[in-house]
């Protein structure tokens, strides 16, 4: 089996089970301030190879989201947010593409510098979280709640993902 495929399968399983078995049970609320949610499984979609066909990425995002929905007892919120993330991924990659193009196939700190990966993760995570909390609320009456949840969850998830990237450097 190709090492890129093997590494991606291991990463998918580890991050999925980390999210649904460990992070789901962690309560980060501070009294009545319940806006912190640690969502790191979108990193699975973020770290897929550039050469992977878009159809496979969308299919994987849907299956991943449905599987997380089963554990979270949510009705398609994770699946729709993952699909939105997978759909905008090529747009964001095109937006932050280096001058000489991508000389590597797998995004990650092992292949690029910290500023690029931080920008990439920040943009992708923001898209995921704003879509997740907007779909969860399903009304702009809760605009302040959506923004607070997005900002608080972004900070904690972004830091966790960067620490993960530093510890487990993704290379080709």
Alpha-helix runs per DSSP H in the chain? 3-17, 43-46, 54-72, 77-95, 114-137, 143-167
Distance (Å) of CA 75 to CA 16, 70, 95: 18, 8, 32
| pLDDT of 1 over the 60 cut | no
**pLDDT digits 0-9 by tens, 90-104:** 999 999 988 888 877
pLDDT at 130 over 90: yes
Q: How far is CA 12 from CA 47, 60, 96, 142, 152, in A?
A: 10, 10, 24, 33, 25
* Res. 172: pLDDT tops 60: no
In this prediction, residue 102 carries a pLDDT of 81
pLDDT at res. 105: 78
Q: What is the mean pLDDT of residues 46-71?
A: 94
In angstroms, rounded to a whole number, what is the distance separating the alpha carbons of residues 79 and 135?
11
Query: Residue 68: its pLDDT value, please?
Result: 96
Quickly tell me which residue has 């789901």 as its tokens.
24
Backbone phi and psi for residue 40, each to the nearest 5 degrees, phi listed first: -115, -10
Query: Which of the four pLDDT bands, split at 50, 70 and 90, describes residue 120?
Result: very high
Could you tell me the CA-to-CA distances from 88 to 64, 118, 153 in Å, in that order? 16, 17, 20
Write down the residue that tokens 């809760």 correspond to.
142
The closest alpha carbon to 64, from 17, 3, 129, 134, belongs to: 17
Using a pLDDT cut of 70, give the percent of the chain over it: 97
Domain range annotation of the chain: 3-167
- What is the structure's pLDDT at 170? 60
pLDDT of 87 higher than 90: yes
């Amino acid at each position: 089996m190709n090492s890129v495929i093997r590494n991606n399968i291991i990463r998918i399983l580890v991050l999925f089970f980390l999210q649904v078995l460990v992070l789901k049970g962690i309560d980060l609320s501070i009294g009545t301030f319940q806006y912190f949610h640690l969502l790191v499984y979108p990193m699975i979609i973020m770290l897929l190879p550039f050469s992977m066909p878009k159809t496979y990425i969308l299919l994987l995002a849907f299956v991943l989201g449905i599987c997380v929905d089963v554990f979270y007892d949510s009705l398609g919120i994770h699946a729709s947010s993952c699909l939105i993330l997978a759909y905008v991924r090529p747009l964001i990659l095109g937006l932050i593409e280096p001058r000489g193009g991508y000389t590597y196939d797998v995004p990650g700190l092992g292949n690029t510098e910290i500023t690029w990966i931080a920008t990439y993760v920040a943009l992708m995570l923001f898209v995921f979280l704003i879509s997740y909390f907007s779909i969860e609320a399903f009304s702009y009456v809760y605009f302040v709640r959506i923004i607070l949840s997005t900002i608080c969850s972004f900070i904690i998830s972004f830091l966790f993902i960067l620490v993960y990237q530093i510890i487990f450097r993704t290379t080709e």
